[in-house]
Amino acid sequence: MDNQVLLRFEEFYPVLRQNLKRKRFLHSLGVMHFATALAARHGEDLADAAAAGLLHDCGRLETMEELGLEIHRRGLAVPPEDHEFQKVWHALVSADIAAVDFGITDERILRAIRVHPTGDAHMSRLDMIVFLADYTEPTRRFEGIKELRILAERDLPAAFRRALEVKTQYITAQGRTLHPRSRRALAAYAGPPLEVLLSSPPETRHGASPA
């Protein structure tokens, strides 16, 4: 990551604090800290993880009308597979804000921001870290989150898949349609149940993180 961007972290905070609601700002800080911890555990660049974690929701506006206007103002094209999934549009805007407003030029960071709500079939280590940090950072509360955090520290692909499964259960229980990217991710990262992963010694698990 560009050292000049790293030195500008202190400039990110006041802008985000002003533009985001308090709960969203605290969530972003939580994602940044947990993403950094996971990066340290899995050999990813800490500054990249911190930047992606901090900025992943910087385009999360209060209403869909505001978000639509911001997409139009920035001249962004919503991908066809996103048209029916307005809840993920903020990731597109967040990546553009990170690039244009905050000077992030590393495509790895920008992609991690773009895919953080859904995942996809080909996830880098950084993609998985941001996805999992967003889902399991300290302010989150749901049944099984402690086990998922433990798994995230041990095996990124397995934790990513488990998080996808939990999110899928929640989405389908609400009668909503699963995003195509999430469907691709589920197909690509199929594996054994969580209970088996947590009880198996590290050398017997599929735990190699992608580059």
Q: Which two tokens stand for residue 207?
A: 């735990």
Report the sign of the C-alpha dihedral through residues 192, 193, 194, 200, in that order: negative
- The pTM assigned to this predicted structure is 0.86
Q: What is the extent of the structural domain holding 99?
A: 3-204
Q: What is the model's pLDDT at position 209?
A: 35
Say if 211 falls within a structural domain.
Answer: no
How many residues in the chain?
A: 211
Contact in structure between 102 and 12 (CB atoms under 8 Å): yes
Residue 209 resides in a domain = no
- Which pLDDT score, from 0 to 100, does residue 172 have? 87
Q: How many domains does the chain have?
A: 1
**In a domain? residue 210:** no
The CATH number of the domain where 42 resides is what? 1.10.3210.10
Q: What is the pLDDT of residues 122-145, one digit of tens each?
A: 999 999 999 999 999 988 888 889
Q: Tens digit of pLDDT for each residue in 189-202?
A: 876 554 444 454 44
Residue 118 lies in a domain: yes
Q: How far is CA 177 from CA 7, 56, 93, in A?
A: 41, 23, 22
26-68 confidence digits (pLDDT tens): 999 999 999 999 999 999 999 999 999 999 999 999 899 999 9
Looking at residue 192, its pLDDT comes to 59
pLDDT band at 93 (very low <50, low <70, confident <90, very high): very high
Specify the long-range contacts of residues 66-75, CB closer than 8 Å, at least 24 apart: 67/93, 74/100
pLDDT at 198: 43
> For residue 32, is it within any domain?
yes
Q: Give the pair of three-digit tokens for residue 172.
A: 């389908």
Question: How large a percentage of the chain has pLDDT more than 90?
Answer: 72
